[in-house]
Chains A and B, each alone.
Chain A
Amino acid sequence: MKYAYYPGCSLKGTGRAYEESLLAVLRVLDVEVEELRDWNCCGATTYMSFDELQSYALAARNLSMAKQAGHDLMAPCAACYLVLNKTQYYVRDYSWIGAIVEHALDAIDLPKDISAKVRHPLDILLNDVGLDSIRAKVVYPLRGLKVAPYYGCQLVRPYALFDSQRNPTSMDRVLEACGAQIVYYPVKTQCCGGSQKGTLPEVGLDLIRHLLAEAQRNGAEVISTVCPLCQFNLEAFEEQASNAHQFHFPVLYFTQLLAVAFGVPLTDAGFQRSFVSIKPILAQREIAYA
């Protein structure tokens, strides 16, 4: 199994822990990945609202290069995942968009073919690696660690074909395979506000607070995420969001929990980058870790 790896800007910045843990986990599972050479920002949702067509072109550049590399393109960031997919759909559904994109690729001597399959790590773990091989690699089971699975919006909506748009369960299953206990989390696909926290603080904070409160109400010990922006929002503003109830969750990437289970040293899985340490919880649950 080999994939072209498209980190996206966040995984090089606030989301470094995601990249570290992801790569570590894939290593354990002997999944080969190669970072896409000279990838560029996908444009995310923000560029979309500035100029949709340009953002398609930006995404297309990556897709075209991935096709050349000859592997499926692994996009861990939900926003990237969405934009890359969306681009493919639109180029397919609207010939005139296709024409523009092709023209643009032409201008930088890239092949028009942007049909590289865009995959999310969850998709890969579930459908290519498989739960059995994941179970097989577990050395330190998570022993019923109570996890709130937070998928956020853009991973499953509107394009994810590997999971339900209304009630996704892929992360649940992967984590359960590592012995974690998934708590009821009805807001698993509700929006975290994205960049709203920066632009309209009180609004963003409201959404974040709701997500944290729901996790607490359902007795979660940690929140598991699949998207760097979700992770950042929930973690960075726990304190601000705290009101009646104090929030003090480790907000992790699902890959970090896998890493624990696989016996990857915490420091290799970016735990040192968390604001809230997970160690006390692991200790309390008597979950061993490397």
Chain B
Amino acid sequence: MGESKVAAMRDAVAGLVRDGDTVAIEGFTHLICFAAGHEIIRQRRRDLTLARMTPDVIYDQMIGAGVARKLIFSWLGNPGVGSLHAVRRRIEQADPEPLEIEEYSHFGMVCRYVAGASNLPFFPIRSYYESDIPSVNPNIKPMRSPYEDGTEVYVVPPLRPDVTIVHAQRATADGDAQIWGLLGCQKEAAFAAERVIVVCEELVEESVVRQDPNRTVIPGIVVDAVVEQPFACHPSYAQGYYDRDNGFYLEWEQVSKDPAMLEAWLREWVYDLESHADYLEKLGDRFEHLKPGERWSGQVNYGEYA
């Protein structure tokens, strides 16, 4: 359909991510597109509002590199390891500068994306009761059911990122993307966005996607650019393609704690490299022990109805 949207990461980021944008690089543990975050750092974007349920190490790197002025999130940490120290320094000591934060619970963040994707002015959830969260986030408002029960709920406003970047195992040149394994809120974040970049492990023929339409998570009509970038999620993972590099997450604790080490890491692994290809070359054989065994889904028959 139409002209191809296939682009190099550098061009996709240069063309679609602008200073001051609200950017969501989503993916819950799975399919977090580190390569896109690194390219944004490399291109020295500034004043971004970064949105993510779980900022994870990628936002610690981006915020440590100074691309953001604000963070919208629901869980701030290095999963299973500890803290995001670059983020904490900015929140706790305004070091090197303050970071504005806007926080929700996981369900609140998910529903903000659902509202954004659905063009709804608000989304009701049963949460936040007797919690201090609404007291520090006026965007979370109480509302009563108009029906007999009069149940009280809280509502959250839509979140509409200027740009959402999601990674998928495979996508077509038009951006039809298929994902298996954890889905997070990739679909909702993509539909909610003004502009969408889909990064994929494999660029595939339309026929591959049309073989199994129920596996399509994001349709090309909401996608502006498609970047084929294998291993773009390291140290996050892509189900069936490579494992999570838990060692990296564990090592990050030390790097993140020390501003000098963080700066050195950014220089060595981002600024001094041209692209993710260089990053992978530098990683060397690290992927060898991250390769999973095979575990196939089996296939189903859609039937030929002519």
Q: Do these two chains really belong together in a complex?
A: no
Task: Give B residues with C-beta under 8 Å from A.
Answer: none
Binding site for B on A (CB under 8 A): none
